[in-house]
Amino acid sequence: MATAPREGNLQAPTRHPLDWLNPDFYNEKSLFDEMERVFDICHGCRRCVSLCEAFPTLFDLIDESSTFEVDGVDKKNYMKVVDHCYLCDLCYMTKCPYTPPHAWNVDFPHLMLRAKAYKFKNGDVKTRDRILTSTDAVGSIAGIPVVAQVVNAANKFGPARKALEVVLGVHADAKLPEFHSNTLRKRLAGHLSSAEAEPAGRTTGKIALFATCYTNRNEPGPGEDFVAVYEHNGIPVILAEKERCCGMPKLELGNLEAVREAKEFNIPVLAKLVDEGYDLTGLIPSCVLMFKQELPLMFPDDADVQKVKAAFFDPFEYLILRHKEGKLKTDFKNPLGKVAYHAACHQRVQNIGQKTRELLSLIPDTTVEIIERCSGHDGTYAVKKEFHAASMKIVKPVADRVKKAEAAHYGSDCAMAGHHIENALRGERAPEHPISLIRSAYGI
């Protein structure tokens, strides 16, 4: 007998595959009809109003309409809601009571993704956004030794930033990442581990690091710290032989064909490593989520994609799994005191629990204050001229929590979120990646 719809959903949310190859996915009427249906459900609930600017934008459009209902909103304005969604997934995973298997089948983030794909397919995309999401191309140019110095200097020079805002629409006050010509790949070239892999539980005991565009070119230090921590724990580490951007920036742009191209480059490399007995990880939660969730939902019938999904771990999830099997060293030499730790959205929605907090809490004389609230960065949202003010509004409660904690250290699993918090703190002090804190605690 069919189960009647209930107010709220008492079962865990499930995700349907993304039907992006179906021509109806891009059909304007079908898309706008579905947006109207879901927006009407959101209007009657409003639980997500505090998460980001997408929901306040929607509710303001409704409240200012002639009918005070969704049917009074001009459909042309639906895209104002779409533009404020940066696919953090928190509404789906932490707030919405109507996600599948509920009969109302609400998946707000993937509906917004569908709308972004519709926009991209119809040419509604700025040159700036094409550039910002082309991380491999930008990094390869900006990472050239002399060019890196010039780019980094220009990014800190007020008049240059004002010009960039006028010409490209990148906000002058947004904190931009530095570029390193001495990349992580260069730093680890020729690295050979002396550790012997020892399987334990779900882990094979040897790991391949997907370096990611950001860790490789923008912040290689935590990558070196990762290798030191893992090999201190007897886990041999190698870098994936080659890689391209995981595809998350292009996904958020709605360029799904570019995501397919990235997948066709990366997945064979990673699947081969899995066949050789390696587990997989990355230091950017969004990249990990791409391989754990988004690619498997886009390519549900691709056996190699599913194989890579099963072998991909959050770096702290992996160490805690080893700890439960008695394979994590707890010979910490240096207490950290109080740590204000921001849990990144794309780590939270992996549904693995608070693994970073668990690991930091193993360090003697260390207390962890966890901040589970979106920073509002997204990788590109916070740097765009038209959205920077909204991103600073979103990050303010996080920065206030960091300031109030008066902690010895603060940081986030997402390095970009950490620096966005730093920007909200007006650069009072720099964030520290949790893996760097772990290395410091080990004294290695």
* CATH code (residue 382): 3.40.50
Q: Which pair of tokens denotes residue 226?
A: 């990762």
Domain stop point among 286, 321, 356: 321
The yes-or-no verdict on residue 11 having pLDDT over 80 is no
Is residue 310 located within the same domain as residue 354? no
User: What is the mean pLDDT of the segment spanning 242-251?
Assistant: 94
User: What is the mean pLDDT of the segment spanning 388-407?
Assistant: 96
| Residue 70 and residue 62 in contact, taking contact as beta carbons nearer than 8 Å | yes
Which of 356, 351, 403, 347 lies closest to 374 in space, CA to CA? 347
pLDDT at 88: 93
Domain stop point among 296, 321, 346: 321
10 Å Cβ neighbour count for 109? 20
Q: Which pair of tokens denotes residue 212?
A: 């990611």
The yes-or-no verdict on residue 107 having pLDDT over 90 is yes
Is residue 69 located within the same domain as residue 148? no
Is residue 227 located within the same domain as residue 145? no
Is residue 200 located within the same domain as residue 297? yes
pLDDT at 17: 96
For the chain, what's the residue count? 444
Q: Is residue 28 part of a domain?
A: yes
The yes-or-no verdict on residue 7 having pLDDT over 60 is no
pLDDT tens digit sequence for 287-309: 999 999 999 999 999 999 999 99
User: What is the mean pLDDT of the segment spanning 379-405?
Assistant: 95
pLDDT at 208: 97
Is residue 387 located within the same domain as residue 428? yes
The yes-or-no verdict on residue 97 having pLDDT over 80 is yes
User: What is the mean pLDDT of the segment spanning 224-242?
Assistant: 96
The yes-or-no verdict on residue 6 having pLDDT over 70 is no
Q: Is residue 175 part of a domain?
A: no
Is residue 133 located within the same domain as residue 259? no
Is residue 91 located within the same domain as residue 204? no
Q: What are phi and psi of 251, to 5 degrees?
A: -60, -45
Residue 378 belongs to what domain range? 330-442
Q: pLDDT-based confidence at 399, cuts 50/70/90?
A: very high
* 3-class SS string, the chain: CCCCCCCCCCCCCCCCCCCCCCHHHHCHHHHHHHHHHHHHHHHHHCCCCCCCCHHHHHHHHHHCCCCCCHHHCCHHHHHHHHHHCCCCCHHHHHHCCCCCCCCCCCCHHHHHHHHHHHHHHCCCCCHHHHHHCCHHHHHHHHCCHHHHHHHHHHCCCHHHHHHHHHHHCECCCCCCCCCCCCCHHHHCCCCCCCCCCCCECCECCCEEECCCHHHHHHCCHHHHHHHHHHHHCCCCEEECCCCCCCCHHHHHHCCHHHHHHHHHHHHHHHHHHHHCCCEEECCCHHHHHHHHHHHHHHCCCCHHHHHHHHHEECHHHHHHHHHHCCCCCCCCCCCCEEEEEECCHHHHCCCCCCHHHHHHCCCCCEEEEEECCCCCCCCCHHHECCCHHHHHHHHHHHHHHHHHHCCCEEEECCHHHHHHHHHHCCCCCCCCCHHHHHHHHHCC
Q: What is the mean pLDDT of the chain?
A: 94
Is residue 301 located within the same domain as residue 334? no
Q: Is residue 16 part of a domain?
A: no
Q: Is residue 270 part of a domain?
A: yes
Is residue 287 located within the same domain as residue 337? no
Q: pLDDT-based confidence at 194, cuts 50/70/90?
A: confident
Is residue 216 located within the same domain as residue 289? yes
Q: pLDDT-based confidence at 5, cuts 50/70/90?
A: low
User: What is the mean pLDDT of the segment spanning 342-359?
Assistant: 95
pLDDT at 40: 97
Q: Is residue 15 part of a domain?
A: no
Predicted structure pTM score: 0.93
Domain stop point among 300, 321, 342: 321
Q: Is the dihedral of CA 71, 77, 80, 82 positive or negative?
A: positive
Q: Is residue 7 part of a domain?
A: no
C-alpha pair distances (Å), 146 with each of 180, 191, 216, 289, 315: 10, 26, 17, 34, 33
The yes-or-no verdict on residue 274 having pLDDT over 60 is yes
Q: Which pair of tokens denotes residue 340?
A: 């204000």
pLDDT at 113: 97
The yes-or-no verdict on residue 405 having pLDDT over 90 is yes
| DSSP bridge pairs for 338 | 367
What is the domain count for the chain? 4
Is residue 302 located within the same domain as residue 203? yes
Q: Is residue 5 part of a domain?
A: no
Q: pLDDT-based confidence at 139, cuts 50/70/90?
A: confident
Range from 7-21, 249-263, 318-332 carrying the lowest mean pLDDT? 7-21
C-alpha pair distances (Å), 227 with each of 143, 223, 343, 395, 437: 22, 7, 22, 31, 13
The span from the CA of 115 to the CA of 120, in Å, is: 9
Is residue 154 located within the same domain as residue 277? no
pLDDT at 143: 81
pLDDT at 144: 84
Q: Is residue 176 part of a domain?
A: no
